[in-house]
Chain A
Amino acid sequence: MNRRLTGPGAWTLYFITAMLMVFILAPLAVVVAMSVSDSYFVSFPPQGFTLKWYAQILQDRDFLAALKLSCLLALSTTIGSLLLGVPAAIALTRSSFPGQTLLKGLVLSPLIFPALVTGLALMQLLSAMGSGDARINLLIGHVVVTSPYVIRAVVTSLLLVDFNLEDAARTLGANRLKTFWRITLPQIAPGVAAGALFAFMVSFDNYPVTMWLANSEYSPVPLVLMRQLVNVFDPSVPAMSTVIIILAVVGVLILERLVGLRRAAAV
């Protein structure tokens, strides 16, 4: 391995890379450090050590309600995007028909469309339709933006599945559904799980679509955090942020276990 990266250039590369790793981790580390600061304002350097801000946010009704809403929303979004995305991924890989490339472009197009505009356009439609329940509106918006991630993850795993096994099952008399259930699904399970987890995380963190569809009664975590950030200056804001960071780290570790991170995030 060292054969490939040696010479004076190599050390420069390693140094720059190390500095960038610091650059990437610094803002997250600062947030975590501030969350245990025993002071009434967020200011560097943090003072002492306390967990009282965590105790405080765990009693904050708005934050807890937002956390519950975000979890339920992300969960139902995941189910919705799996129900729509997995069949679409099969259609894209297990057959060839005219217009397949176009179909792929269409179902993945929410990825390149500015999410902010997706949310705005959807809000306009939903308010014209008179759909007043923010929870349903949020669910629809989140499924639009997360389903491409599921499709991409499942397509990637379907392409790695051995076609011959499916053919063998069909030849031995299994019908399409049984073949999928017994042969294909077990093989693509890690990919489906990765897509599902990615959809969950994207929904949990989504801001640009959520900002249009939420209301004062139903505000998911990112919106509540944004509001706190503008109005509150004590370390309860870093404490809330740290909770979000911890949830993300757990998700990342599961993703890494399931399929390897680079494949999960394949751009």
Chain B
Amino acid sequence: MSSDTQVLEPASSRPKEGVALRLTLPAFLLAVPILIFLAIFFFYPAINLLFFSLLTQDAKGIVGPPLTAAHYTRFFEVDLYLRVFWNTLRISLVTSAFAIVLGYPVAIVMAKSGPIVSRIIALIVIAPLIVSVVVRSYGWQLILANTPAGLLNWVLMSLGITSEPLAILYSETAVVIGSLHVFFPMMVLPLASALGKIDPNLEDCARTLGAPWWKVFLRVTLPLSVPGLVAGFTLVFSLTAGSFVTPVILGGTTATMLGNLIEQQIFVVYNWPFGAAIAVVLVLVVFAINTLSMRLLEGRRFRTMS
């Protein structure tokens, strides 16, 4: 079929393109079902939610036409909501910062040890990813409990380090610890794969030329692993910002995040447009971080090319 057309058409680049297009058309059709599915159940509802956040809800709870930005101004004017917004950004930022600092040692060991050690570390790092977030946060609740019956307090008091139980549970610290545990793999995996791609000779060179290990890390390893670092940061930040379970179990009423606020507005207050507006704010935060990191990586690529 294809050879026929090639013989008949004049020898330009056009007929080749035509053939390629005809051959690939059926392959494209294979993606149509999922596109339709996502269009109906993902893209349309998402756009609809954005629209909803601009509508007004009357006293009877009916959501109707007069378009308004009042929900957004309310969100950024009321102290309570603004505090939750900053809480969310702070918790996400601190969690990803800790994930970076703690992720490097693990990723380096994972990338540079023998197959057995690296496999065991991978198993331990990845396995919890598949255990429900509810279970993992519950585990932290048992460890951090504010009474002497919590694991941490029991250990500290048995060793005589403290006489009074520490109060870590139901604070931002507890949420950061829990989120770090939940999303740590999302930092280690991209970091380890970026580190695995670095030519070991470069580090050897730096060492042979007399650089101490920290200088080798700062001048060779770190700059070359930036793609993994940025990917991991984006993942950990976005996932932490959108979390719901961890702040409920470990944050209690003090460390509320945007996810909890959305749930309250929908299920408790029944203020749909306001809930939708907070959801849009959350999406914008996540998109901003993703765009920022993509820009960062693209800029880097241009610099290395020129």
Task: State how many angstroms separate the Cβ of A158 from the closest Cβ of chain B.
Answer: 12
A34→B214 CA distance, assembly (Å): 42
Residues of B within 8 A of A212 (CB): 266
- Closest beta carbon of chain A to B187's beta carbon, Å: 9
Q: Which residues of B contact A8 (CB under 8 A)?
A: 213
Q: Name 13 interchain pairs, CB-CB below 8 A, sorted by A.
A: A14-B109, A17-B106, A30-B139, A83-B33, A87-B31, A107-B38, A113-B46, A120-B275, A121-B279, A141-B41, A208-B243, A208-B245, A244-B135
Q: Which of A4, A13, A91, A222 contacts B132 (CB 8 A)?
A: A222
CB < 8 Å A-B pair total: 272
Closest to A140 in B: B41
Q: Of the candidates B34, B46, B130, B249, which one forms a contact with A121 in the assembled complex, judged by CB atoms under 8 Å apart? A: B46
Q: Assess whether B44 is interfacial by the CB under 8 Å rule.
A: yes
Which of B124, B126, B214 touches A262 (beta carbons < 8 Å)?
B126
Q: A27-B136, A117-B262, A252-B127 are in contact. List 8 more A-B contacts (CB 8 A).
A: A87-B30, A107-B38, A109-B42, A114-B238, A120-B262, A120-B276, A229-B138, A252-B126
Return the chain A residue nearest B109 by Cβ.
Answer: A17
B242–A205 contact, CB under 8 A? no
**In whole angstroms, what is the CA distance A143 to B36 when docked?**
13
Considering the complex, give the chain B residue whose CB is closest to the CB of A7.
B213
Contact yes or no, B133 A207, CB < 8 A? yes
Rounded to whole angstroms, the CA-CA distance of A51 and B28 in the bound complex is: 55
Total number of B residues with any Cβ neighbor in A under 8 Å: 95
- B129 interface contact, C-beta 8 A: yes
Interface of A toward B, CB cutoff 8 Å: 1, 4-5, 7-9, 12-14, 16-17, 20-21, 23-28, 30-31, 34, 41-45, 83-85, 87-88, 90-92, 94-97, 103, 106-107, 109-110, 112-118, 120-122, 124-125, 140-141, 143-144, 147, 151, 176, 201, 204-205, 207-208, 211-212, 221-222, 225-226, 229, 237-238, 241, 244-245, 248-249, 251-252, 256, 261-262, 265-267
Measured CA separation A45–B151 after assembly (Å): 7
Chain A interface main SS type: helix
The 8 Å CB contact of B139, one of A27, A94, A103, is A27
Question: A5–B112 contact, CB under 8 A?
Answer: yes
Is there an interface contact between B241 and A88, defined as CB atoms closer than 8 Å? Answer: no
Residues of B within 8 A of A92 (CB): 31
Contact A267 B102 (CB under 8 A): no
Q: Is B304 an interface residue (CB 8 A)?
A: no
Residue contact A114 to B213, C-beta cutoff 8 Å: no
A31/B139 contact (C-beta < 8 A), A7-B213, A208-B244, A211-B263 known: yes
The answer to whether A112 touches B149 (Cβ under 8 A) is: no
Closest 7 CB pairs of A and B: A27-B139, A43-B149, A114-B242, A95-B27, A95-B24, A121-B45, A87-B30
* Residue from B23, B134, B272 having most chain A Cβ neighbours under 10 A: B134
Q: Report yes or no: A45 in contact with B106, Cβ–Cβ below 8 A.
A: no
Q: Choose among A17, A31, A88 the residue that contacts B34 (Cβ–Cβ < 8 A).
A: A88
Query: Is B15 located at the chain interface by the 8 A CB criterion?
Result: no
